[in-house]
Structure 1
Amino acid sequence: MRKLAWSKAALALAAWIAAAAACAAAYPERPITLVVPFPPGGVADTVARPVAEALGRELGQPVVIENKAGAGGAVGIGQAARAKPDGNTLLMSLSSISILPEADRLLERKPAYGLEQFVPIARVTADPTVLVVRADAPWHSLQDFVQAARRQPGKLDYGSSGIYGTMHVPMAMLENAADIRMTHVPFTGAGPAVQALLGGQVQALATGPASVLQLIQAGRLRALAHWGEQALQALPEVPSLASQGLDARFVQWSGVFALAGTPAPVIERLRQAMRAVAQDEKVRGLIAASGSPVMYLDAPEFDAYWKKDSASLAQAVRRIGKVQ
């Protein structure tokens, strides 16, 4: 009886291995959707486009970007969370994926998704946000900006991609660290927020370098500071908040996720493809040119990084408190 049981177990295992191998060999059989939970023009979209093109080459099927903006990223992330876990729907998200569920709980709302609904595949970039103003603004340094905010509490408006998003949280950190008060004006994504800054509807914002580097280089925007600990590769002359005596740090990373429950062979296939994408010189060049050099982490390292970062961001949201 024991031999028969072991024989059946061995046959079942062999069948599972064969099925898994067949699943991996067949995947993908149709185009893949890469959900970007922000409108075109923001960091996630800027990184997603070269990644999608290269990932499609690696997988042998087109990877089609679907921009699904709203609620600081919650609309698109929630949509991706409801997809079938078969590898045919992926998510390109920013670090806001970790912030939004905690913000919903703080506001006593049902979260649009849970972090447990996603499996990290690869981190692509990781950049501190940058404080920018229009080039014709009267502030030429962080000190100028902070002093102006102190003189007129609530008078300066700053834009963001949405409440508790990756453009709102760092500015709230700056307010707390510098003991100033500004007015938050949320938009549907980084792209619209940057356009509002250029148009004079807001006076400042914090965003990843990829959203504003070309505008800084073109002389349309001015960078005053960043939320990192080391000099930025794209903007080495811009000081950090920490170097100016302000305790505020924030990294806006981008990463690719699959749905929890996606078959392990499909996850492994995606990991292999993303390793190749991260090493693709064309992809690295395009992303670096936008101001966000590739800072690749494979799934295990990304998972550990994500857990630690999520805990830190949840704490930051609780410090900010309820915002309506």
Structure 2
Amino acid sequence: MKKVTLLSAAVSATALFAATFSAPTLAQGTFPQREVTIVVPFNPGGASDMTARIIAKGMEADLGKPVVVVNKPGGSGGVGMSSVARSTPDGYMLTYVPVELVMHKALKLSDLQPETFDFIGQTTVVPAALTVPVDAPYNTIAEFIKYAQANPGKVRVGNSGAGSIWHIAASALEQNQKVTFNHIPFEGAAPAVTALMGKHIEAVTVNAGEVKAGVDAGKLKILAIMTPERDPAFPKVPTAIESGVKIEFAGWGGFAAPKGTPKPVLDRLSASLKKAASSEEFKTFIASRGMVVHYRSSEEFKKFANDQYVFFNNLLSKMELGK
């Protein structure tokens, strides 16, 4: 009996030692112990980058540790997201996840899909806007379509990467109106907009916030917003539907961690993200950039992403994306 008692005590002591020295890395009250990195899978300056940076600022204030943003563009978001998917699932390496995540597998860009990650939360909806140079020979989406019909294959439409939401938005518009565009991929929306301002392409279908600086500078004009409602940041710009083109497209964005991240860590990150996304600073920032705040919790975002995965896989199976 004495030996059993001593053995039990030894086992209990070992368990207590393990709990004492492993729990702090998972406990909600002690995470994080060091800097947290958010990878943005696109170039600086686009909607994804801008969203991640303002969220990082809010989360840093809440977590009490530095939250830094690193840009890793390439492969329509695949390079950056894949690098995070392969990282240690401890909550210190996160990624911004755009709508493109749910399209990668269908487009054979990568094996990325919703089940690759543990979701932290969704933060935004990102409306698309058909935008052209200010001196372009068309002032409405109807006039733009008429020009494209008269010049098949000559209208170069920039996007944020082959298979990106903005590529699909332009392709959907192309098929909807029976026109032919010349799709020009860039590593993110920002370089596509730069090319538009330099008149190296004729149009983009990126987010309104990503062209705002060009519009404010008098170099670009938005012909239509591709959502059911007008953009509050551009109240005079009609929707495509208002203009007789029955199409709507919007991106979305949120944040995720590598699969297998401990739940207490995910809970802590999710709570911090919600706080950052609920701040007046974030709401004002997002509204001024032509986006819409739309928060979903970890579980809500997981369900939404899986639903979007099914939706876009069905949609893409019926589409032939223009090259």
TM norm. shorter chain > 0.5: yes
After superposition, the Cα gap between the structure-2 partners of 1:172 and 1:237, relative to the gap in structure 1 and judged at 3 Å, is same
**Residue 70 (1) aligns with residue 74 (2):** yes
The answer to whether the Cα contact below 8 Å between 2:232 and 2:287 also exists between their aligned partners in 1 is no
After superposition, the Cα gap between the structure-2 partners of 1:157 and 1:263, relative to the gap in structure 1 and judged at 3 Å, is same
The answer to whether the Cα contact below 8 Å between 2:168 and 2:321 also exists between their aligned partners in 1 is no
> 1:21: how far off?
6.8
Aligned to 2:183: 184
Aligned to 2:238: 239
Of 38, 41, 58, 1:34 maps to 38
Of 37, 45, 55, 1:51 maps to 55
After superposition, the Cα gap between the structure-2 partners of 1:258 and 1:219, relative to the gap in structure 1 and judged at 3 Å, is same
The CA deviation string for residues 185-235 of structure 1, in whole angstroms up to 9 with x for no partner, is 111111110000000110001111221123223322111112211222212
The answer to whether the Cα contact below 8 Å between 1:93 and 1:256 also exists between their aligned partners in 2 is yes
After superposition, the Cα gap between the structure-2 partners of 1:113 and 1:308, relative to the gap in structure 1 and judged at 3 Å, is closer
Aligned to 2:8: none
| Matched residues, number | 309
Q: Bigger shift: 187-196 or 274-283?
A: 274-283
Aligned to 2:150: 151
Q: Work out the CA distance in 2 between the residues paired with 1:92 and 1:279.
A: 17
> 1:323: how far off?
5.9
Aligned to 1:91: 95
The answer to whether the Cα contact below 8 Å between 1:171 and 1:206 also exists between their aligned partners in 2 is yes
The answer to whether the Cα contact below 8 Å between 2:123 and 2:296 also exists between their aligned partners in 1 is yes
The CA deviation string for residues 99-135 of structure 1, in whole angstroms up to 9 with x for no partner, is 122100xxxx6x2433211122111110221110011
The answer to whether the Cα contact below 8 Å between 1:74 and 1:112 also exists between their aligned partners in 2 is no
Using structure 1 for the length normalisation, give the TM-score.
0.89
Residue type of the partner of 1:45?
D
Residue type of the partner of 1:86?
D
Aligned to 1:121: 120
Aligned to 1:81: 85
Residue type of the partner of 1:261?
G
> 1:20: how far off?
5.3
Q: Work out the CA distance in 1 between the residues paired with 2:140 and 2:254.
A: 32
Q: Bigger shift: 119-128 or 281-290?
A: 281-290
Aligned to 2:26: 23
Aligned to 1:311: 310
Mind listing any 5+ residue stretches in structure 1 that lack a counterpart? 1-7
> 1:160: how far off?
0.9
Rg bigger for which structure?
2
The alignment-based identity, stated in percent, is: 32
The answer to whether the Cα contact below 8 Å between 1:127 and 1:208 also exists between their aligned partners in 2 is yes
After superposition, the Cα gap between the structure-2 partners of 1:18 and 1:271, relative to the gap in structure 1 and judged at 3 Å, is farther
> 1:236: how far off?
2.1
Q: Work out the CA distance in 2 between the residues paired with 1:269 and 1:140.
A: 48
The answer to whether the Cα contact below 8 Å between 1:129 and 1:226 also exists between their aligned partners in 2 is yes
Q: Work out the CA distance in 2 between the residues paired with 1:310 and 1:114.
A: 8
> 1:144: how far off?
0.6
2:205 is paired with a residue whose SS is strand
Mind listing any 5+ residue stretches in structure 2 that lack a counterpart? 1-10
> 1:98: how far off?
1.1
Q: Work out the CA distance in 2 between the residues paired with 1:229 and 1:144.
A: 20
After superposition, the Cα gap between the structure-2 partners of 1:250 and 1:322, relative to the gap in structure 1 and judged at 3 Å, is closer
The answer to whether the Cα contact below 8 Å between 2:152 and 2:180 also exists between their aligned partners in 1 is yes
Q: Bigger shift: 22-31 or 36-45?
A: 22-31
Q: Work out the CA distance in 1 between the residues paired with 2:289 and 2:127.
A: 14
